[in-house]
Amino acid sequence: MSRTRPLVIGHRGAPGYRPEHSLASYELALDLGVDAVEPDVVFTKDAVAVIRHENEIGSTTDVARHPEFASRRTTKHVDGEPLTGWFVEDFTWEELATLRCRERLPKLRPRSAEFDDRLPILRLRDLLDLVATAGRREGRGIGVVLEVKHATYFASLGYDVAALLDAELRRAGWDAGNHPLVIESFEQGILQRMRDRGIRARYIYLLEAEGRPHDLVATRGADAPTYADQLTHAGLDRLAHEVDGISLDKRVILEDDGIVAAAQGRGLEVYTWTCRPENAFLSVPFRRGRAKAAFGDWEGEWQRIADAGVDGVFVDHADLGVAFFGRSGTDR
């Protein structure tokens, strides 16, 4: 890699300060100078690509305050787990547009919760246009790191996820390498289907610290490899021929910083998620005091991550991320 510092990615915008995936969150992240922003993409009943962390929206919107939608509260199994709430696939885009965003972690982030019920949900196209406009205005290539959520689940409902995203990216002019685009997912299958469609992007495979990828569980059951299996030498050898990089839960790197060099030695880029300063999210050695919302020794933890030599970091507090990872002390 030619970069001397990690790519700083606004994780869902700047959710340390504004409700995640809202227009205000993304605008703030861009204003604070991130290299890219990361939307999570799911689909409405009428197949519109919208930006939500999950397809269940009870905790991140004001849907519970809309009596006209009360009957749509239900329980579904998503990626093998039961979830109760309201789901984007049960709403048209016109209906979703009447909802407003809410802070998912109001006790940890009361400053962000002050913006509750004021900001509309975004479509993917809204964000693609916003980032392209910001890049032209600032004269720099600002990227989008597009995470495809629950691809196997949506396919089971009849959605052709790859075709829908292909069409959206082409309509927005984000398909031909004119803008920095990364496509990522916890399911490698959707990455290959997007690549097969000729979308010019970097393809990054997300790996949890525990568990198994749902697309492989759906096809292979108990024989599906774990995420850990895919981070062995043999697993990395395979991935080096199939994706451009991997994105790791930071716990994996903090427990074994050699994994970064092992992957990069095979030509893979390595990203990590998520760099957050609150005690609630820091590993135990870096927590300070007992208040979950208080900032701990986040610089100590982030320095460990920078020293491992990662190529990209996801941050919730864009200003802290840009300042910390952009300073000379973290260059490599």
pLDDT for residue 117 is more than 50: yes
Closest CA to 78 of 51, 56, 49, 53: 56
The distance from CA 38 to its chain's CA centroid, rounded to whole angstroms, is 5
What is the number of domains present in the chain?
1
Domain contains 163: yes
Question: Does 172 score more than 50 pLDDT?
Answer: yes
Backbone angles phi, psi at 143, to 5 degrees: -100, 170
CB-facing half-sphere around the CA of 147: CA atoms within 13 A:
27
pLDDT per residue over 45-79, tens digit each? 999 999 999 999 999 999 999 999 999 999 999 99
| DSSP-based three-state secondary structure for 10 | strand
Q: Give pLDDT, residue 3.
A: 55
Average pLDDT over residues 173-183: 96
The residue segments making up the domain with residue 47 are: 7-208
CATH of residue 21:
3.20.20.190
Distance between CA atoms of 191 and 228, rounded to whole angstroms?
19
**Average pLDDT of every residue of the chain:** 96
Residue 88 forms part of a structural domain: yes
The confidence score (pLDDT) of residue 278 equals: 98
Residue-wise pLDDT for 133-143, tens only, equals: 999 999 999 99
State mean pLDDT over 284-294. 97
Q: Is residue 236 part of a domain?
A: no
Q: Is the pLDDT of residue 330 over 70?
A: no
pLDDT at residue 134, rounded to an integer = 98
In a domain, 226, yes or no: no
pLDDT of 329 above 50:
no
- State yes or no: pLDDT of 332 exceeds 70: no
Domain for residue 301, yes or no?
A: no
- C-alpha radius of gyration, the chain, whole number: 19
Asked whether residue 63 is domain-assigned, the answer is yes
